[in-house]
Amino acid sequence: MSGSSGNGAVTRSTLRQQIADALRDEVLGGRLQPGQEFTVKEIAEQYGVSATPVREALVDLSAQGLLEADQHRGFRVHEYRVEDYRGMVQARSLIIEGMFLAVHEGRQPPQNFEEPRTAAAIAGVRRRGEAARRAASAGDLTVLIGYDLRFWRELGALYGNPYLSDFLHRLRLQSWVCTVQHLRRLTDLRGHLWSGYPDLVDALYAHDTDAARRILAAYNDASITLIERQAAG
């Protein structure tokens, strides 16, 4: 009996994650718009599943800041303002500055870049950055978001603090939820999306934190200007 119960729990947990991932993609893809409301029953019927894993998935997304729970009306997609985005950028910058300090002080990442595991991790991050650059250059926002989240998750892991890495991932996700509604109004995103991922990796690999700061400062300024312009119509 205990084995059956365990398998059921695993199945429900997997289904919960699949639903959460699918709904996150719906939000990031612009198919679920800010302020759009829905109920557990509606989502359960849409995916042909029971209410329990749907409710758990929606609670998870609410905790991540993507949805808001309304006791009487179900859930709705969180509506972020431009002011929220500026706050997210500032918070992201504070976390990344901690990474820069670790590089400057020689604490993280490891000094021996030729150590096989470290070299492989850095190479993986750079490959992710190159893929993100290609998506940005092509104006493919959906593909870019996926590579962007993986890039920052893997870059953060190099610094040995999973709490900071998780927090940065959450901020990156919320940033995309905030900005995607504005970006998808542009008919052609080529030339509008940041593509400096490999440059940032190269600067950090060289321990050139000044160059890394300049790269990110230019990125942040340009992205805020773009979102403010789009939000103003």
Q: 82-91, 153-162, 166-175: which range is least confident on average?
A: 153-162
Q: Is residue 3's pLDDT more than 50?
A: no
Asked if domains 2-77 and 82-231 share a fold, the reply is: no
Tokens at 47, concatenated = 């995916």
Collapsed DSSP state (helix, strand, coil) of residue 67: strand
Q: What is the pLDDT of residue 61?
A: 95
More confident site: 118 or 56? 56
The structure's pTM equals 0.86
Listed residue (206, 29, 202) closest to 130, CA to CA: 202
- Mean pLDDT (the chain, rounded): 87
- pLDDT mean over 12-35: 90
Q: Strand 37-38 to strand 67-70: parallel, antiparallel, or no bridges (unpaired)?
A: unpaired
- Assess if CATH 1.10.287 describes domain 82-231: no
Residues 6+ positions from 19 with CB-CB distance below 8 Å: 43, 47, 49, 53, 54, 57
Contact 134, 148 (CB under 8 A): no
Among 192, 174, 219, residue whose Cα is nearest residue 80: 174
Residue 209: the pLDDT is 85
189-209 tens-digit pLDDT: 999 999 999 999 998 888 788
Closest CA to 227 of 100, 25, 82, 54: 82
Task: Give residue-wise pLDDT tens across range 88-101.
Answer: 999 999 999 887 77
What does the pLDDT look like over 125-160, one tens digit per residue?
999 999 999 999 999 999 999 999 999 999 888 876
pLDDT over 70 percentage in the chain: 89
CA distances from 42 to 17, 33, 50, 148 (A): 18, 16, 11, 31
State residue 190's pLDDT score: 94
% of the chain surpassing 90 pLDDT: 65
Give the pLDDT band (50/70/90) at residue 9: low
- pLDDT, position 100: 76
Domain residue ranges of the chain, discontinuous segments joined by +: 2-77, 82-231
**Nearest C-alpha neighbor of 125 from the set 199, 21, 209:** 199
* Residue with more model confidence, 19 or 108: 19
CB atoms within 10 A of CB 26: 16
Mean pLDDT of 119-130: 91
CATH class, domain 2-77, is mainly alpha
- Calpha distance 78→111 (Å, rounded): 42
